[in-house]
Structure 1
Amino acid sequence: MTDDAAVKPTTRISKVWVIPIIALLIGAWMVYYQWQNQGPLITIDMSSASGIEVNKTPIKIRDLDVGQVKKIELKPELDGVTVTARLEKSAARLLNENTRFWVVAPRVSFSEVSGLNTLLSGSFIAMTAEAGQTEQDHFTALERPPVTPPGTPGLHVELRSDTDDLTYKPGDTIIYKGFKVGEFEEVHFDVEQGRITYRAFIHAPYHKLIDENTRFWNVSGVKLQLASNGLTIQTGSLETLLANGVTFGNPQGDTKGQPIDDNAEFVIYGDYNAAADERFRYAAQYVLLIDESVRGLTVGAPVEYRGLQIGKVAAINSNNMDIGSLLDDEYPIPVLINIYPGKARLEDSEEGLAFLRDRLGRWIRKDLRATLRMGNFITGGLFVDLQHVDQPETASLLSVNDIDVIPTVSSEFTQLTQKADAILDKINALPLETLIADITAVIETLNAAAESVNETSDNFDETIAALDTEALNDQIQHSLKAFEGLLQHYSEGGLSKAEIANTVDSLQETLRAIQPLLMQLNKTPNGLIFSDNAEIDIQPQAQEQDQ
C-alpha cells in the first residue's frame, strides 16, 4: 500500500534574491541622490569650439571648478557652436541675466597679456555672476574676458565718440594726470544711428572726480603742435602711446558740478581745446562768404580777434545755406562760425550774447572784416582772423538764412598772388621780340669790340716783344751820363751861357754863308774838281710895267 506525498506551497522568499534586491535598492538610491543633487544643464553659444573638449574642459568661477562640458553641437545656422555643460547644484543660484561666460586662452596684445597659465593646463570656460532677477539657462559667450571683475568698487560710464578717425576697443585705458584709473569694457555699434558707444569703468576712489561738468578727451599717441613759441609735444602715458586712451577733467574756468549716477553718458572730444569749448553754452553765429579757395580751412579751425581765439568754424559750405549752386558764376562759399561771449571775456549768458551781437553789428557797419590767414606753414592750415580795416568799403548788415554776414577781404596770400599776376601781365605786354632783337644786336657789337680789343692787345704785345729793351736801356743810360757830364762841366766853370749863345749864332752865320756852295754841290757834285762850264743861272725878273 502506497502513501501519497503531501505538497504544500511555500511562502518564503529565497535567500538568493536578498543580495540583488539590496543592490537594486542601493542603485536606486544612488540614482535618486544623483538626480536630486545634480546641477542644472545649460547651453552656451560660442563662435567656435577652439580649445574645448567634451568631458574634459571645466567651467570655473574664481579658479574653482563648478561644472564640465558634456556636449558640443554645431548651430543650425552654421554661425557657431552650442556647448552643453553641467553645473554643480551650488552654482545654480548664479544663473541669471547678468551671468557671463567666456573662454580663457592665451591672449597677448598691446592692452593686455592674459591666460598664459593655460599654456600647460589647457583652455577652460570661465564664468562670472552678479545679482539678477530672472533665472536663465541659455547664454552667449563673450568674445573676450571682461576687463573689470564683478564686484569691483567704482563707477560705470557710457562714452560716445562723434569723430570717425579714432575708435577704442575693450582694454584701452582711461588715465587721469598720468595714472591709470579705468578702462574700456564694451563696444557697441548702433547701425541705425551709425554711432559707436562705449561702456567704461572708473575704479574707486577716482570715480569721485567725475561730475556733471566733467569732460572726456582723447590722448592717444603723440600730438605735435607748432606754434609761435616753438614746438609742443603732448602725450598721455606709455600705454596710450602703444594703444588708444582718454583722460578726463573739468576745463579751466569751469565750476564743479553735481555728482552723477552709474551709467551716466559723456562725449569723447578730440582734444582738450575742443572739450573746453563745450563748456560755453551761448554762441553767436555768423556767416562768411568766401570768394577764394578754402583749401586748408577745416571745421573746428579757430576764429581769432587780435590774436586771441574767440570762436571756431562750425560748418563749411553747408547745404542749409540757400545761396545757390557751386557751379554758379561768382558763387561765394559760405562758412559758418561760432563766436562765444565767454571767450570774449563776457558773461556766458543771454545778456552777454546780446551785448556781443550789438557790438559786432556796429563794428561790421564800420570797419570789421574777416579774412583767412595761414596758421601753419607746414600743414597749410587756415584760420579766420577778424580785424579792423583802414578805409573799407561801406557795408550794411546782411543776413543769410537769418544769420548775419561778416564781410570778408582777400587774404595776404591772395593779395600777393594778385600782385604777382599783375606783374606777369605787364611783363607779357612788353615787346619782348623787339627787345630780344635789340639785345642780340648790342651783344654782337660788344663781341666785335671785344675781338678788336683782343687784336690790338695782341699787336701791342708783339710790338713790346720786338723792342730790344736791353739796348734801349743802355742808350738811355749813356744819354743820362752825357747829360750828367755836361751839367758837371757847366757847374765847374765851362762856357757861360752868353758864350754858348754867341757860338751858336756864329755857327748859324757860317751855315748861311756856305748854303750857296751846298746848293751848287747838290746840283753838280763834281764842280769842285772840273771846270765850271755851267751856264749862267738865269734869275727870273719881274715884268716891266708901262708907265
Structure 2
Amino acid sequence: MNDKANKAVPVKTARTRKTNVFTSVVWIVPLIALAAGGWLAVKHIRNTGPKITLLMDSAEGIEVNNTVIKVLSVDVGRVTKIKLREDRKGVEVTAQLNADAKEMMRSDTQFWVVKPRIDQSGVTGLGTLLSGSYIAFTPGTGEAVKDVFEVQDIPPIAAIGQSGVRLKLVGKNDKILGVGSPVLYENFMVGQIESARFEPSDQTVHYTIFIQSPNDKLIRSDSRFWLDSGLSVETSGSGIQLNSPPLPALLSGAISFDSNPKADSRQVENEAQFTLYGSRSEVVNLPDERSLYYTAFFKQSVRGLAVGAPVEYKGINVGVVSDVPYFERNASLKLFSDGMVPVRIRIEPSRLEINAETQSKAHWEQQFQTALNRGLSAVIASNNLLTGSKMIELTDHAGASPKLKPYGVYGGHTVIATQNGGLDDLQAQLGDLLAKFNKLPLEQTVAGLNGSLAELKNTLKSADTTLRSVNTLVSRPQTQNIPNELNQTLKELRQTLQGVSPQSPVYRDVQNTLNSLDKTLQDVQPLVNTLKEKPNALIFNSRIQDPIPKGSR
C-alpha cells in the first residue's frame, strides 16, 4: 500500500502558446469609451454655465425647453423649469445658461421678455410671431455675482455699453407718463423714461430717466424739468398759440427740460434728483430771490383771473398773479360784509432789467414804493375776449381816484391801490346809460312826433292841392295869351296917339302911362317865362336844387 503511495506520479510537461490579438483588443474598447466619456463629461462641464432663477409676473409665452435666453440675438441658454412662486405672486423660471454667459450674471444684469409690442417707439418684436417669445438680457458690469433676477415686461432704456446719466425726478403732477416716453430738450429727443411710479403716502410721482451721452452735458445743476403733455393750447392777449411737440411726445407725452449754464452752475452726477413741474408756464413763472409780493383788493368780480395771469405795466410783462383769492386766516368770513376780494401779485425785477445791469432787491423795492406814492394802482383788464381770461394792469394815470384799504399791509405784503376799469367798468357805464335812457318819456315824445307828422301830412296835402290849381291856371290858353293881348293893345294905343300933339298934356300923360306899362311888362316877362318852365315856382323856391335820392346802405 505504501508502495503504491510512493509510486511516482507522472509529471506533464507545460507548453506555451501565443495569445490571440483579437482577445486583447476587446479590453481596449472599454478603456477608450471610458476616456471618451470622461472627455465628454469634462467638455460638458466646461460648456455648461450656471443655472439662474428668473422671477416673473406671468409665464405667458414661456415654454420649457422651447423658450431660449438670448443676448445680442445669440442663444446662450434655455428655460428648463417653470413653477409657481411660494408667495403666489408670480412664477419662478429656471434657466440653464452656457458657459459663455457665466461672467455676465452680475448684480446689475437686466432681463426682459421680447414679444410683439406697439408703443411710442414704434413696432418691435415682430420676429417672435413665428419663433415665439424669448428672454433677453443686458450683461452686468457689477462686481457681485447674482443668480436670481427680476424679469421686466419691457426692455431697459440704456443699451449695452451705452454711456450717459441717470436722474431721478419727483413732482406732484395730475398725470403719470409711461415707461419709454421721451425726454426732450428744445423738441430734440435726448433720453427716455426708465421707470415711473406713484407714491400714495405723499401723493408724488417718481420718475427715473436716462439721458444718453453726449446729451448728458446739457444737464446742469440749475436745469428745470416739466411735463410736456402732448398738444398744448395757450391763450394770451396776443391770441391763441398752438404748440405741438414731436410725434412720440404727442402720442404719449414727454418730459422736457431747459438748461442755463451760468457761472455758478455745474454738471450733475449720476442719480441726481430734480423737481418735476406740471407745465412750462409753471417753470417760467417760478419766483426767485428778488421777487416782490404785493396785495390788491378788488370790488369787482375776479372771474377769469387765474394764478399765473400776467401783470403788465404799459404793455410790458412785469410779473404774474400769485394767488386768487388771497385771504388771511378767517378773513373770507367777512366777504359778504366787506365785498372786497384780495389778490396777491408778484413782481419780477428780472423782467424790468431789459438791456440793463442786475440791481438789488432793495433797489426795486424803493423804485416800486416811489411809484405807489405817485399814484400807481392796479386794474383788472381783459386779457383775451375770446376766452374771457383776465389780467392785472398797473396804471399811473393822472386824475385817477384809487380806492385804498384802511390798512397798508395785508398778509405781510404792501397793499396796492385799485381802480375800476376794463370791460367790467365799461359794462357798468353802459348799464347806467341804458338806465337813464329808460327814464326818458319816450311814449309822450313818440305821441308828439306822431301828431306833428299828421299835421305835416295835412299841410303837404294842401300844398299839393294849391299846386294843382296853379298848374291848371297857367296851362289855360287865356293865361298864356295875356302878353300877346297886351302888346296888341299898346300897338293900337300908339296908332291912336299919333294924331295928338306931342306938346299937349294928354300926349304927355299917355306917354308916361305907356312907359310905365312897358316897364311893367318887362318886369312881368321873366315871371311869365318862369311859370312856363316851372308852373310850381310860385310855391317852391326855384333856386334850391331838387334833392338827389341816396342809395340804400
Matched, 1:293 2:301: yes
Which letter does structure 2 place at the counterpart of 1:191? P
Q: How does 1:238-249 map to 2 (within 5 A)?
A: 238-249=247-258
Q: Which residue does 1:257 correspond to in 2?
A: 265
Residues 1:76 and 1:381: Cα distance change in structure 2 (over 3 Å): farther
How far does residue 387 in structure 1 lie from its aligned partner after superposition? 3.0
How far does residue 128 in structure 1 lie from its aligned partner after superposition? 1.7
After TM superposition, the structure 1 stretch with the greater mean CA deviation from structure 2, 140-149 or 32-41, is: 32-41
Partners of 2:233 and 2:240 within 8 A in 1: yes
Partners of 1:365 and 1:395 within 8 A in 2: no
> What residue ranges of structure 2 are gaps of 5+ in the alignment?
1-25, 501-505, 511-553
Q: Which residue does 1:406 correspond to in 2?
A: 416
Partners of 1:42 and 1:86 within 8 A in 2: yes
Note the aligned Cα RMSD (angstroms).
4.4
How far does residue 411 in structure 1 lie from its aligned partner after superposition? 3.1
Q: Which residue does 2:198 correspond to in 1?
A: 189
Partners of 2:219 and 2:267 within 8 A in 1: yes
Distance 1:327 1:231 in 2: 35
Distance 1:284 1:370 in 2: 15
After TM superposition, the structure 1 stretch with the greater mean CA deviation from structure 2, 18-27 or 168-177, is: 18-27
How far does residue 63 in structure 1 lie from its aligned partner after superposition? 0.7
SS in 1 for 2:95: strand
Which letter does structure 2 place at the counterpart of 1:55? N
Distance 2:55 2:252 in 1: 30
Q: 54, 69, 74: which is aligned to 1:64?
A: 74
Identity of aligned residues (%): 30
How far does residue 86 in structure 1 lie from its aligned partner after superposition? 2.9
SS in 1 for 2:180: coil
Q: 176, 181, 187: which is aligned to 1:172?
A: 181
SS in 2 for 1:329: helix
Partners of 2:380 and 2:421 within 8 A in 1: yes
How far does residue 461 in structure 1 lie from its aligned partner after superposition? 10
Partners of 1:216 and 1:249 within 8 A in 2: yes
Q: How does 1:173-322 map to 2 (within 5 A)?
A: 173-217=182-226, 221=230, 223=232, 234-251=243-260, 254-255=262-263, 257-269=265-277, 274-276=282-284, 278=286, 280-318=288-326, 321-322=329-330
Which letter does structure 1 place at the counterpart of 2:270? D
After TM superposition, the structure 1 stretch with the greater mean CA deviation from structure 2, 441-450 or 49-58, is: 441-450
Q: Which residue does 2:363 correspond to in 1?
A: 355
Deviations 1:77-96 (A, max 9, x none): 77654444333344344334
Q: Which residue does 1:445 correspond to in 2?
A: 451
Q: Which residue does 1:384 correspond to in 2?
A: 392
Q: Which residue does 1:505 correspond to in 2?
A: none
How far does residue 152 in structure 1 lie from its aligned partner after superposition? 0.4
Q: Which is greater in Rg? A: 1
> What residue ranges of structure 1 are gaps of 5+ in the alignment?
1-15, 503-547
SS in 2 for 1:309: strand
Q: Which residue does 2:160 correspond to in 1?
A: 150
Which letter does structure 2 place at the counterpart of 1:50? E
How far does residue 456 in structure 1 lie from its aligned partner after superposition? 5.8
Partners of 1:103 and 1:126 within 8 A in 2: yes
Distance 2:41 2:403 in 1: 101
How far does residue 424 in structure 1 lie from its aligned partner after superposition? 4.1
Q: How does 1:423-462 map to 2 (within 5 A)?
A: 423-427=433-437, 430=439, 435-436=442-443, 438-439=444-445, 441-442=447-448, 445=451, 449=455, 452=458
Deviations 1:17-73 (A, max 9, x none): 999999999889978976786444444343444333332121211111122233444
Residues 1:477 and 1:456: Cα distance change in structure 2 (over 3 Å): closer
Residues 1:489 and 1:183: Cα distance change in structure 2 (over 3 Å): farther
Partners of 1:103 and 1:124 within 8 A in 2: yes
Deviations 1:154-183 (A, max 9, x none): 22222344443x643333333444543222
Residues 1:347 and 1:47: Cα distance change in structure 2 (over 3 Å): farther
After TM superposition, the structure 1 stretch with the greater mean CA deviation from structure 2, 439-448 or 254-263, is: 439-448
Q: Which residue does 1:46 correspond to in 2?
A: 56
SS in 1 for 2:417: coil
Alignment coverage as a number of residue pairs: 476
Which letter does structure 2 place at the counterpart of 1:194? Q
Which letter does structure 1 place at the counterpart of 2:384? N
The TM-score with structure 1 as length reference comes to 0.71
How far does residue 136 in structure 1 lie from its aligned partner after superposition? 3.9
Partners of 2:310 and 2:392 within 8 A in 1: yes
Q: Which residue does 1:102 correspond to in 2?
A: 112
Which letter does structure 2 place at the counterpart of 1:188? R
Partners of 1:364 and 1:397 within 8 A in 2: no
